[in-house]
Amino acid sequence: MSVTDTDVIKDITYRVLENGDADATGTTLLTDMFTITGIVDSMNRVQQKFMIDTGMVLTRLGTSIPVTVGNGRYDLPTDNSAVVRVSYTDFQATTEVTRALTPTDTWELDTAINLWPSGADTPITWWQTTLAQQRLGIAPIPNNVGELNLLYVALAATLTGAGVNLSRRA
Amino acid sequence: MSYVQVTAAQLRTYFYEQVSGNTAFFRTDEVDRILRESFRFYNCLTGYWRDRVDMGFTVAGQTWYTVPAGLTYIMRVEINQRQMDNTTLWDLDYGRPEWEDETAAAGAFPIMFAPAGSNLFALWPTPSSNTDSLFVEGVVPAPDPTAVPFINLGQSDLESILDYAEHLAQFKEGGEEFDASQLWFQDFLKKASSTNALLAHNSRWRKFMGLTDKPKRPLREAPEKVGPR
């Protein structure tokens, strides 16, 4: 099912009585109380919030993030909006092992694992609390090479008012 | 389940009957949009329109699958004509952290599926064969009443959808008309919950319906006071 931004603008136009004595066009309004740009901006904000709040459409990262020994912090994809799930594939285990990492924060790590930033072991958790934006940490610090597999909410399609489909499943 | 057939023209007529036939205030294009949204919302709440999709065969070693484009969300999965149990990513991740590595033995099949969002699902254990058939059943998008010759649906479902359509339309009127339409909306939600009992467990739904599990009594007794009682 496809819904375009123009469809939504028309719906809004009717609801706020801005169509006058004609069908809503999606490009013009009766008065200057609202503007099409204002409506489109609002739609973009609401759409993005809806995507994050519901996790309705998830993206699996096509190319996994390579993990190197001793490095516990990695860049996230540029279209990432919210990380939902992380798993780690350990390449040097006896047999390659993929394991789901559980979310945590630095308070838990600081309290539960003494000197966790300097130790090295198989990662079992992921965290973001004190990192810069679009960064992800894993703990303990990996002692093997491997890769991170992400399931995340991607940025929603940018609506322009020119008939762009709202974000949806592929 | 019994059905009636309704056309777009009939739906518009029913709608206008509910709003005093005001064809000037509610234009045809607007009514079509209101009806479309009402059908979609009812379908979201109840999963009224469903279908079965043949996804072909499993892929050996592939854990994650994309929900077929024709389905809004999945309800049931069959592999080689055996039903699968449903689970969640949370259960798998916390119960069997290495579940993605577990592959079905030769001749065995995956036994559980876990939806991820509305667009993905995972099979556990991972299929080991390329020849296991995979069928998915789920909810499909609600029909667009203006794009099909007619729609099959139950009489009581039709009335609920029209209740919601009226509520939507009255937003424009505002004031008392809109307030009064809240009753139609509640009737609509009540009907939806009789079709989908899960709604009754949803806190937002219960709050809107004025239902609460919290006992209606003060948190503490009123303090004793001096003087006549």
B43 interfaces chain A, CB cutoff of 8 Å:
no
Token code pair at residue B120? 């993905």
| Partner-chain contact A102 B93, CB within 8 Å | yes
Give the confidence band of B200 by pLDDT, cuts at 50, 70, 90: confident
Give the confidence band of A93 by pLDDT, cuts at 50, 70, 90: low
DSSP state of A155: P
Per-domain boundaries in chain A: 5-54, 59-154
| Partner-chain contact B33 A100, CB within 8 Å | no
Q: Using one digit for the tens of pLDDT, what is the confidence trace for B75-91?
A: 999 999 999 999 999 99
Per DSSP, the residues of chain B read: ---EEE-HHHHHHHHHHHTTT-TTTS-HHHHHHHHHHHHHHHHHHH--SEEEEEEEE--TT--EEEPPTT-SEEEEEEETTEE-EE--HHHHHHH-TTGGG-BPPTT----EEEEETTTEEEEESBP--S--EEEEEEE-PPP-TTTSS-EEE-HHHHHHHHHHHHHHHHHHH-HHHHHHHHHHHHHHHHHHHHH-GGGGG-HHHHHHTT---S-SS-SSPPPP-SS--
Average pLDDT over every residue of A88-96: 83
Average pLDDT of chain A is 92
B91 interfaces chain A, CB cutoff of 8 Å:
no
Q: Using one digit for the tens of pLDDT, what is the confidence trace for A150-160?
A: 999 999 999 99
Average pLDDT over every residue of A96-106: 93
- Shortest CA distance from B140: residue in chain A: A1
| Partner-chain contact B119 A170, CB within 8 Å | yes
| Partner-chain contact B33 A7, CB within 8 Å | yes
Give the confidence band of B213 by pLDDT, cuts at 50, 70, 90: low
**Per-residue pLDDT at B148:** 92
- Quote the CA–CA distance of B32 and B24 in Å, as a whole number: 14
Average pLDDT of chain B is 90
Angle at A64 between CA A59 and CA A67, to 5 degrees: 140
| Partner-chain contact A169 B67, CB within 8 Å | yes
A97 interfaces chain B, CB cutoff of 8 Å:
yes
B204 or B149: which leads in pLDDT: B149
A135 interfaces chain B, CB cutoff of 8 Å:
no
Largest CA distance in chain A: 74
Closest-CA distance, B215 to chain A, in angstroms, reads: 30
Angle at B149 between CA B144 and CA B154, to 5 degrees: 70
Instruction: Quote the strand ranges of chain A, DSSP E.
Output: 59-60, 65-67, 73-75, 80-90, 97-103, 125-127, 135-139, 146-154
**Taking 90 as the threshold, does the pLDDT of residue A17 lie above it?**
yes
DSSP state of A81: E
Average pLDDT over every residue of A119-131: 92
| Partner-chain contact A87 B100, CB within 8 Å | yes
**Taking 90 as the threshold, does the pLDDT of residue A75 lie above it?**
yes
- Quote the CA–CA distance of A148 and B131 in Å, as a whole number: 30
**Per-residue pLDDT at A169:** 60
| Partner-chain contact B33 A14, CB within 8 Å | yes
Go through chain B and tell me how many residues it has.
229
Closest-CA distance, A93 to chain B, in angstroms, reads: 12
**Percentage of chain B modeled with pLDDT above 70:** 92
- Shortest CA distance from A95: residue in chain B: B101
The SS3 of residue A112 is helix
- Quote the CA–CA distance of B74 and B36 in Å, as a whole number: 22
The SS3 of residue A54 is helix
Closest-CA distance, B100 to chain A, in angstroms, reads: 6
**Per-residue pLDDT at A162:** 93
Give the confidence band of A8 by pLDDT, cuts at 50, 70, 90: very high
Nearest to A86 by CA among A112, A54, A64: A64
**Percentage of chain A modeled with pLDDT above 90:** 83
Contact A156, A167 (CB under 8 A): yes
- Quote the CA–CA distance of A53 and B108 in Å, as a whole number: 38
End-to-end CA distance of chain B: 61
**Per-residue pLDDT at A81:** 94
Q: Of A17, A24, A98, which is closest to B98 when you measure between CB atoms?
A: A98
Q: Of A7, A19, A98, which is closest to B100 when you measure between CB atoms?
A: A98
A58 interfaces chain B, CB cutoff of 8 Å:
yes
Per-domain boundaries in chain B: 4-48+143-199, 57-139
